[in-house]
Amino acid sequence: MKRTALALALTALFTAEPALAAPAAAPAAASTEAVAAGSWDLRPLYATPAAWDTERQAILADLTQLGALKGTLGTSAEKLQAGLDQAAALRRRIYRLAVYASLAADADTRVTENQARNQLADATANKFGEATAWVTPEVTAIGADKIHAWLAATPGLAKHRYLLETTLRLAQHTLAPGEESLLAAAADPLQQPQSIYSLLTNADLPWPTLTIRGKKVTLDQEKYVAYRADPDPKVREQVFKAFWPVYKAFERTIGAVYAAELRGTVFQARARKYDSSLAMAQGGDNIPEAVYTTLVKEANAGLPTLHRYFKLRSRMLGLTEARYSDIYVPLAKPSRTNYTVAEAEALTLEALKPMGSEYEARLAAGFKGNWMDSNVQRGKRSGAYMNGAAYDVHPYLLMSFNGDYTSVSTLAHEWGHAMHTVYTDHTQPFETSDYSTFIAEIPSTANELLLADYMVAHAQGKAEKIFALSQELENLRGTFFRQAMFAEFELAAHQAAERGEPITGEMLTKLYLGLLKRYHGDAEGVVHIDDLYGIEWAYIPHFYTDFYVYQYATCVSAAAYFAEGIGKGDTALRERYFKLLEAGASAEPYQLVKAAGVDLASPEPYRAVVRRMNRVMDELEALTAQK
């Protein structure tokens, strides 16, 4: 994900584009103290926490100057440009402020000081939103004819072209200045469900202690991810039966938190005169709703292929009855079981050589630059992400590297995000650097697929090739089918909220359980799903970024197209791919991907992913049949 949660507060187009004065201060480190291995260095953002505090106060002071712009934007092209430039400069600084605060908070969610700083960053963004709520209505009032004439005659407005054209397109969803101010003021309370969920699940859940093969284990999220792939089915079942009751015990609470998230989204959609929450989510980037609905439809049509995969797993694992606790165990033992971060980086560099020497050099420089926090530690935010919002610095990455192949693949994935940001920021001005999430998962998933192809091609012997093929299948399951299931759940939950139905933890569990059983073929005897596992919806933090997860599935479809061609040495395709990486927010994301060769509103990209999965299974079945 390129931008921070704070950036979600800057939702209006110009409200989302802001900042005054010069870029943030303190780009240099205050000391030369070495950074601990596996940690990121936040000093390029701000030398010290005190420097961050100073910059925040400066931003707050500059916010007061924005009011002087009110009523001037429509008087001339020069005034419009000056106002937009001033707003963009301030937004640039606020993003940087937010990056530092959110990274520090995520590194250890138990540190109260860091959580407080993150809240201050959120509050600063919200104040900016309130201070610029009048901008979009004022630009809309200028009118399309005058804005297009000014764009043609004023070169300085070029970097604002896409934003201006998008604002005109969304004029029907722009409210009066007073109403926009009210919505901007509501941004902070509307963000709270995500903040509450993050703190509850990362810092406050009472994790159980298990004894596994004589070793005491605190079963938090990171240990769950590690032990759910344990080769012993009894251990896996023990882990599942201990881990999920923790979430089940908080079903009512997390249900209330997610209900607040849903109601907040529905409120915003109705306030802005959208037909639905999905329409609002897709409308900003003008993504056809057919992309979402076609994905869900085609994923359901492809369930026989998913069930074929689960049956193949059962045969290879020698299971008489497959259970949900069996879906993560590797089908074959890897030749390496304890990768170091350095080894994972070297492997990623080799796998991505088809990208060319420039990409390789930029990636290698990032590896050496202390951009990533990869250590496993208690209190650290779960999951993995890339934050590239600090335009003047470099991307930052967070993950907990466990040493297994999944961690290697995750590393390649997140660095795909980072390189996307590097290419975009190198090519685009700040004003058009904030690429859509609709595109964001394509470069990251392409990296994963190229890594998978590399592992298959360089497998040493039958067993290693079986492992590599099985990993590719698992990647496709997790990135396409699992994310499509999440998308179907999320859409159904929002639609229930829109109908005014009561949203409770029990209701959400029932909804999710039905999908879990259908996708895994419970009724057909493919994978048995215990009712307890319906609580899994409460484990997914991405649900607090509305209608985000479906883009993993759409993007793997596009990524498969690019990875296959680039891997085969198609230089023309590679050039189109890099143009996509460099495009940023210079045009509508759906059209950018379509121009690169993939129409994600049509069934074909999704059917191609299903065909790819079947081809890999054909190869794997042939290998396992050999004596």
Residues marked active site are found at: 414
- Which run of H or E residues covers position 397? strand 396-398
β-partners of residue 528 are 323
Cα three-residue angle 476-482-485, rounded to 5 degrees:
140
Which tokens in the block code for residue 323? 């259970």
Q: What share of residues in the chain are helix, strand, coil (percent, to 5)?
A: 65, 5, 30
> 36 by DSSP, 3-state: which?
coil
Closest CA to 327 of 465, 447, 473: 473
Closest CA to 247 of 272, 221, 282: 221
- Which run of H or E residues covers position 215? strand 215-218
CA distance 382 to 541: 9
Give phi and psi for 211, each to the nearest 5.
-110, 115
Closest CA to 585 of 159, 177, 5: 159
Helix extents (H) in 25-76 = 49-63
CA distance 538 to 608: 31
As to burial, measured by CB atoms within 10 angstroms (0-12 exposed, 13-18 middle, 19+ buried), residue 74 is: middle
> How many C-beta atoms surround the C-beta of residue 215 within 10 A?
7
Which tokens in the block code for residue 574? 């590679």
